[in-house]
């Protein structure tokens, strides 16, 4: 999977898993980690190029190419071995779930209140 797709999917997944108040923080964290990783591996590519400079420009660039290809293959193996993506299905966001739970609690309060009023009225009639 390319970085563009991975970045977008991860951002959407993380942001819908959190409340609105924390979505910005999650997006910032994802972006920071992405750019930190790019800088880290770019530094290794530069070290590879510098250490193979004595072989000539073409061989030095080939060494960097093979290093980057190795990184891509390693990430593909990790992805295939450890990442399981389930079937896509619609889920509520954290805020939607919270709102639904609040509505359910309010509905239970109203239903419980009506039952108590009916019981009180019935006990007055009997008594």
Average pLDDT of the chain?
A: 82
Residue with tokens 């997006």: 27
Name 102's Cβ contacts closer than 8 Å, sequence gap at least 6. Answer: none
- The helix/strand/coil state of 18 is coil
Highest mean pLDDT among 3-12, 21-30, 114-123: 21-30
49 within 8 A of 60, measured Cβ to Cβ? yes
Q: Are 41 and 71 in contact (CB under 8 A)?
A: yes
Is the pLDDT higher at 51 or at 119?
A: 51
Name which residue leads in pLDDT, 60 or 21. 60
- Check whether 9 has a pLDDT greater than 70: yes
pLDDT score of 77: 94
pLDDT reported for residue 100: 87
Q: Return the pLDDT at 56.
A: 94
Can you tell me whether residue 90 is helix, strand or coil? Answer: coil
Between residues 105 and 4, the one the model is more confident about = 105
- How does pLDDT run across 30-69, given as a tens digit for each residue? 889 989 988 999 999 999 999 999 999 999 999 999 999 9
What are the residues whose beta carbons fall under 8 Å from the beta carbon of 34, sequence distance 6 or more?
3, 7
What is the reported pLDDT for 90? 66
| Domain edges within the chain | 3-88, 92-127
pLDDT given for residue 125 in this prediction: 60
Structure tokens at 15: 């942001």
């Amino acid at each position: 999977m390319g970085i563009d797709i991975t970045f977008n999917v991860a951002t959407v997944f993380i942001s819908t898993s959190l409340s609105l108040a924390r979505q910005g923080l999650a997006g910032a964290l994802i972006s920071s980690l992405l750019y930190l990783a790019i800088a880290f591996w770019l530094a290794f590519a530069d070290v590879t190029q510098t250490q193979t400079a004595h072989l000539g420009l073409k061989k030095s660039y080939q060494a960097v190419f093979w290093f980057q290809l190795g990184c891509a293959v390693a990430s593909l193996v990790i992805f295939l071995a450890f990442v399981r993506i389930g079937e896509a299905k619609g889920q509520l966001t954290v805020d939607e779930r919270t709102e639904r739970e609040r509505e359910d609690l309010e509905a239970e309060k109203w239903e419980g209140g009506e039952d108590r009023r009916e019981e009180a009225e019935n006990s007055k009639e009997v008594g």
